[in-house]
């Protein structure tokens, strides 16, 4: 199944299931989040009479108001090499907030304070079953589905200190979507990820190259905090980020950035 948090044709917020070219609202559900387990989604009445064109939909972030957004840095070897950093046996983790998120096709505004705005295409995991101290062997049972994100980063702010939050958690600068794709729909380890800027492919990798795979990330994070339904885990970006290119490729007004994970979907955002 593929689900979206969106607005219906009357402008009301709904959860909708993608059926062909149509989005079918689910009765009683306004957004994917802490109340929308797999069981709730499966049991919800499909309002087929209220279906509307997916092409015309105003999609919100897949989970508009997650309790937590966990981000993973340096999770592809080639990206570690381009940054000049060393390997680690523990993942680099940092937070974003619900206010950091924006829609999969929304414009991303350049902040006037930053001159080094960068792209980072990422596979994103949506948690469906809460849990604490989850074993790696059980971790995938806690996944509601997968989606796509662009971890837009303000590099000049990121490197002001050894902590990254000030460069990563700007309001409305992290597109997430377009759909939540359930695990039965896709063999996620067999997929590829790519980013283009104005049609130029700048990132290109495969999900099986994650240093810390999804079960390890879920197990590691759930050691120190209980994961909740609707939590997001951005799993890290491959090599090719703008800050490490020669010359650097920072985003400017009018640029169009597309991030695609095969089998999952693609974001397309204009920089404003």
Indicate whether 33 and 77 sit together in one domain.
no
Check residue 86 and give its pLDDT.
67
Indicate whether 216 and 258 sit together in one domain.
yes
Indicate whether 51 and 182 sit together in one domain.
no
Check residue 77 and give its pLDDT.
83
23 in any annotated domain = yes
Indicate whether 47 and 97 sit together in one domain.
no
pLDDT at 157 over 80: yes
Over pLDDT 90: what percentage of the chain?
94
64 in any annotated domain = no
Indicate whether 51 and 73 sit together in one domain.
no
User: With bands split at pLDDT 50, 70 and 90, how would you rate the model's confidence at 190?
Assistant: very high
User: With bands split at pLDDT 50, 70 and 90, how would you rate the model's confidence at 128?
Assistant: very high
Indicate whether 53 and 143 sit together in one domain.
no
3 state SS for the chain: CEEEEEECCCCCEEEEEEECCEEEEECCCCCCCCCCCHHHHHHCCECHHHCEEHHHCEECCCCCCCCCEEEEECCEHHHHHHHCCCCCCCCEEEEECHHHEECCCCCECCCCCCCCEECCEEEEEEECCCECCCCHHHHHHHEEEEEEEECCEEHHHHCCCCCCHHHHCCCCCEEEEEEEECHHHCCHHHCEEEEEECCEEEEEEEHHHECCCHHHHHHHHHHHCCECCCCEEECCCCCCCHHHCCCCCCCCCCCEEEEEECCCEEEEEEEC
Indicate whether 254 and 121 sit together in one domain.
yes
Indicate whether 98 and 129 sit together in one domain.
yes
Mean pLDDT estimate for the chain: 96
182 in any annotated domain = yes
63 in any annotated domain = no
232 in any annotated domain = yes
Taking only the tens place, the pLDDT of each residue in 65-118 is 999 999 999 888 877 787 776 677 999 999 999 999 999 999 999 999 999 999
CATH number, domain containing residue 186 = 3.90.850.10
Residue that wins the pLDDT comparison between 232 and 74: 232
In total, how many domains does the chain have? Answer: 2
> Domain range holding 15?
2-58
Indicate whether 121 and 228 sit together in one domain.
yes
Indicate whether 148 and 207 sit together in one domain.
yes
246 in any annotated domain = yes
Over pLDDT 70: what percentage of the chain?
99
Indicate whether 52 and 97 sit together in one domain.
no
Taking only the tens place, the pLDDT of each residue in 169-178 is 999 999 999 9
Indicate whether 98 and 40 sit together in one domain.
no
């Amino acid at each position: 199944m593929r689900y979206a948090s969106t607005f219906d044709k009357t402008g009301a917020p709904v959860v909708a299931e993608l059926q062909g070219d149509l989005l079918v609202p689910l009765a009683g559900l306004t957004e994917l989040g802490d109340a929308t387990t797999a069981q709730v989604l499966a049991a919800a009445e499909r309002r087929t009479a209220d279906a509307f064109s997916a092409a015309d939909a105003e999609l919100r972030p897949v989970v508009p108001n997650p309790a937590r957004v966990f981000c993973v840095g340096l999770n592809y070897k080639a990206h570690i090499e381009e940054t000049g950093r060393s390997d680690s046996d523990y993942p680099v983790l940092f937070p974003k907030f619900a206010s950091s998120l924006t829609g999969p096709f929304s414009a991303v505004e350049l902040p006037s304070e930053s001159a080094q705005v960068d792209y980072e295409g990422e596979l994103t995991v949506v948690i469906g079953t809460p849990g604490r101290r989850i074993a790696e062997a059980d971790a995938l049972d806690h996944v509601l589905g997968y989606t796509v994100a662009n971890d837009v980063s303000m590099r000049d702010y990121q490197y002001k200190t050894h902590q990254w939050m000030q460069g990563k958690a700007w309001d409305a600068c992290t597109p997430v979507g377009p759909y939540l794709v359930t695990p039965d729909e896709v063999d996620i380890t067999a997929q590829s990820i790519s980013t283009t800027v104005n049609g130029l492919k700048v990132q290109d990798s495969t999900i099986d190259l994650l240093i810390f795979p999804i079960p390890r990330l879920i197990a590691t994070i759930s050691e120190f905090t209980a994961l909740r339904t609707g939590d997001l885990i951005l799993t890290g970006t491959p090599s090719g980020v703008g800050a490490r290119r020669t010359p650097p490729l920072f985003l400017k007004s009018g640029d169009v950035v597309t991030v695609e994970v095969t089998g999952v979907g693609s974001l397309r955002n204009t920089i404003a």
